[in-house]
Amino acid sequence: MKRNTLILMVLTLVIVAGCTLVPRRAKEPEAPAGGEAVDISTAGLSADAAAIAQERQLSPADITAALKTYLPTGVHDDYVIFASGGHSGQMLVIGVPSMRLLKVIGVFTPEPWQGWGYGVGNEILDEGNINGQEIRWADTHHPALSETAGDYDGEWVFINDKANARVAVIDLRDFETKQIVKNPIAVNDHGATMVTPNTEYVIEGGQYAAPLGWEYASLDDYNEEYRGMVTFWKFNRDTGRLDAANSFALELPPYWQDLCDAGKLVSEGWVFCNSFNAERATGGIEEGNPPFEAGASQGDTDYMHIINLKQAEAAFEAGKTTEVKGFPVISLQTAIDEGILYLTPEPKSPHGVDISPDGQFLVVSGKLDPHVTVYSFDKIASTIDAQRWDTDDYGVPVLALDDVKEAQVEVGLGPLHSQFDNQGYVYTSLFLDSAVARWTLGGDFADLHPEDPWQLVGKIPVHYNIGHLLTAEGDTVSPDGKYLVAMNKWAIDRFANVGPLLPQNFQLIDIDNTGEGMQLLYDMPIGIGEPHYAQMIAYDKLQPWEVYPEIGWDPHTQAVSDNAVQPGEEKIVRDGNQVEIFMTAVRSHFTPEHVEIQEGDHVIWHITNIERAYDATHGFSIPAYNINLSIEPGEAVTIEFDADQPGVFSYYCTEFCSALHLEMTGYLLVQPSGSAAAVGE
């Protein structure tokens, strides 16, 4: 660390003192230079560095940014981002500060490198089918890392599919998707996924209202028939699965619920969801109605939903539910009667509600209001206790804004989402300003900024049109500060032109130099979809396996498979027209290398990678049969197919695993039915 600081100071001084720099482009505010001049030779620094910097026209800020993000070979990142893969339906894993893409995890979409959906994973992908229709893409929005006591624990990560209201579970022991659930009562979602502080529940809030179960109803009956919802999926850590039998939903008014967040510490046991279109506009521009964009922003306020999850859980356990498509739903009336649901106004067309690390403050930004509005949980609780409220058209209690508001802070144009650090600062994305605003919390955080709680204290431009942003451990009870990533919707001129469809731009920002502003460090193009949200966890909290724990491991059950094949036990067993193949893979051969069967056979093929070496993965593909597997060290897989195509098919290993990798192959010979060979002549 000390050496880095020294190098940084030296380089800064060399550049400032010795070079005439030609600015190539508009620059961010530069990092301040400082310290005493140091002799380059005693610092052990190459004298060429200044020349390189000059030749590449690097400013002092560029050099500090490079030094802060560069990792020498073999050095690991301090943080890992789990980002939504947007339309790709996948999860991106990115190192910080290097911003290197470490992995794309196959989730809702088949992924060939991981062999996800080409013989393995198909049953999990099928869990996400809708009425028998295969859905093999997703609009992933919000990943959520599992938490213990409000802190990321590095064990699981969840993500939603907005387009189809589905939730996926990824196990961080092997970074593989284990489950997909389709929400039975909603066809799309948005306020997902968020977890309660001990990951008891994974929250899935809806968005565009529809009759529950998405049965047909005329838009003329919108107020009566259309509904919002939030679903609480019970997570079972022992099985590593969402447990539908212990999950339930809450019927909500047909306001378009947007994003949710779980309360923590003082607000633990509560869930908050913002909404837009409290106007209940139903669109129809083609019939002369106001378009949604106008109709849904006519009013000055929308509604934040305040949900007493403990009460909801009690109502569910007491059986105070009705069933929609076989799924238990707490009706709106029950939610009112049981004290489960409350509303309070929020400035128009907000996007998101974010809860401060102490659980006390709820931050909401109206996209069309230059302020963030901060609510106090204490005030919400005391207003509810005092039963001081009006009601909306459905009879839901509405708490007056003045009763529950703590502060409003003017931050800039188009505020969307907020994140927190460990210095009492909040960072709010400004979509219209293309900037990140930094402002101060009050309350218990006021000690950190006694002179100016609830004040805007800085802004940094980003490029361009930022949506979400994330800070290190930013959704936990103890954020780390240090880094912020702006998730920008538009890149425009930041990267080489790759045609009219441009990548998203993740910008890494140093927020650790408190009091000295924020520094833009790095631009990372995301050329795979639009990742809406991401979370950043300390790398040392992750404990992934290097190889599967034992030979013959089934990643789906996370136990040794009954179908594991030990070396020496390879065989081909025929039973009628069913052929079962027991195969091992090890550098550089499959055993067996000849598989001769007959057209029409049903094939069950078990393969175990018997390697114990780190990184000794083998692939396995069969042409024309759409089979492509990745078999990691220790892993056992089983595939099944009907041998409906006669001919000669060379299967081979698709990972360059060794010097004799090309020889890691074999023949699948499928005799045509009725041929001499097939009838055994």
The span from the CA of 294 to the CA of 176, in Å, is 43
* Strands of the sheet with 166-171, listed across from one edge: 144-148, 151-161, 166-171, 176-182
Q: Nearest to ligand RUQ by Cβ — which residue?
A: 467
Site string for ligand RUQ, 519-558 (x = CB under 6 A): -------------xx-------------------------
User: Rule CB under 6 A: is residue 655 a binding residue for ligand CUA?
Assistant: yes
Q: Residue 577: is it exposed, middle or buried by C-beta count within 10 angstroms (0-12/13-18/19+)?
A: middle
The span of 124-132, 288-296, 382-390, 652-660 binding ligand CUA (CB under 6 A) equals 652-660
**Binder of residue 166, out of ligand CUA, ligand RUQ, none (CB less than 5 to 8 A by kind):** none
403-462 positions binding ligand RUQ, by CB under 6 A: 416
The CA distance from 270 to 372, in Å, is 21
Query: Count of residues binding ligand CUA (CB under 6 A)?
Result: 7
Q: Using the rule CB under 6 A, which residue among 93, 109, 119, 142 binds ligand RUQ?
A: 142
Q: Are strands 144-148 and 79-84 parallel, antiparallel or unpaired?
A: unpaired
Could you tell me if 462 and 486 are in contact, meaning their C-beta atoms sit under 8 angstroms apart? yes
Pair 554, 636: CB distance under 8 Å: yes
x-or-dash string of contact with ligand CUA, 657-676, rule CB under 6 A: x---x--x------------
Print the binding letters for residues 367-396 with ligand CUA: x by CB under 6 A, - otherwise. ------------------------------
The answer to whether the CB of 653 falls within 8 A of the CB of 611 is no
Q: How far is CA 253 from CA 272, 283, 296, 612, in A?
A: 15, 18, 15, 55
Q: Is the Cα dihedral 177, 182, 183, 188 positive or negative?
A: positive
d(CA 188, CA 643): 38
CB of 539 to ligand RUQ, least distance (A): 25
Range 156-215, binding ligand RUQ (CB under 6 A)? 190
CA 60 distance to own-chain centroid: 34
142 binds, among ligand RUQ, ligand CUA, none (CB under 5 to 8 A by kind): ligand RUQ
User: Closest distance between ligand RUQ and the C-beta of residue 505, in Å?
Assistant: 14
Contact 195, 262 (CB under 8 A): yes
Q: Between 12 and 654, name the residue whose CB sits nearer to ligand CUA.
A: 654
Q: Name which of ligand RUQ, ligand CUA, none residue 96 binds, using a CB cut-off of 5 to 8 Å depending on partner kind.
A: none
Cα separation, 507 vs 491, in Å, equals 10
List 165, 209, 259, 364, residue binding ligand RUQ (CB under 6 A): 259
- Per-residue tokens: 524: 């990372």
Residue nearer to ligand RUQ on the CB measure, 292 or 454: 292
Contacts (CB under 6 A) with ligand RUQ, residues 355-384? none
Measuring CA to CA, which residue among 154, 131, 271 is closest to residue 213? 131
CB of 639 to ligand CUA, least distance (A): 17
Which of the residues 295 through 334 are near ligand RUQ (CB under 6 A)? none
CB of 416 to ligand RUQ, least distance (A): 6
Dihedral (C-alpha) 9, 13, 19, 22: value to the nearest 10 degrees?
60
Given phi > 0 = left and psi -120 to 50 = alpha, else beta, which region is 212?
beta
Question: Which of 172, 309, 144 is CA-nearest to residue 240?
Answer: 172
DSSP code for 226: -
User: Using CA atoms, how far apart are residues 204 and 191, in angstroms rounded to an integer?
Assistant: 6
Reference 583, options 599, 600, 597, 566; nearest CA is 566
Inter-residue contact 376 to 281 (CB < 8 Å): no
CB of 580 to ligand CUA, least distance (A): 23
Q: Which runs of consecutive H residues, i.e. helices, occur in 90-235?
A: 122-127, 222-225
Q: Does 141 bind ligand RUQ (CB under 6 A)?
A: yes
- What is the amino acid identity at position 99? M
Judged by beta carbon, residue 260 or residue 595, the one nearer ligand RUQ is 260
Nearer Cβ to ligand CUA, position 70 or 656?
656
Binding status of residue 468 toward ligand RUQ by CB under 6 A: yes
* CB nearer to ligand RUQ: pick between 141 and 305: 141
Mark the segment that binds ligand CUA (CB under 6 A) among 275-283, 385-393, 649-657, 670-678: 649-657
Binders of ligand CUA among residues 602 to 641 (CB under 6 A) are 618
Q: Counting contacts by CB under 6 A, is residue 68 touching ligand RUQ?
A: no
Q: Which does 664 bind (CB under 5 to 8 A by kind): ligand CUA, ligand RUQ, none?
A: ligand CUA
Which residues sit at the interface with ligand CUA, rule CB under 6 A? Answer: 618, 653, 655-657, 661, 664
Which residues sit at the interface with ligand RUQ, rule CB under 6 A? Answer: 141-142, 190, 259, 416, 467-468, 532-533
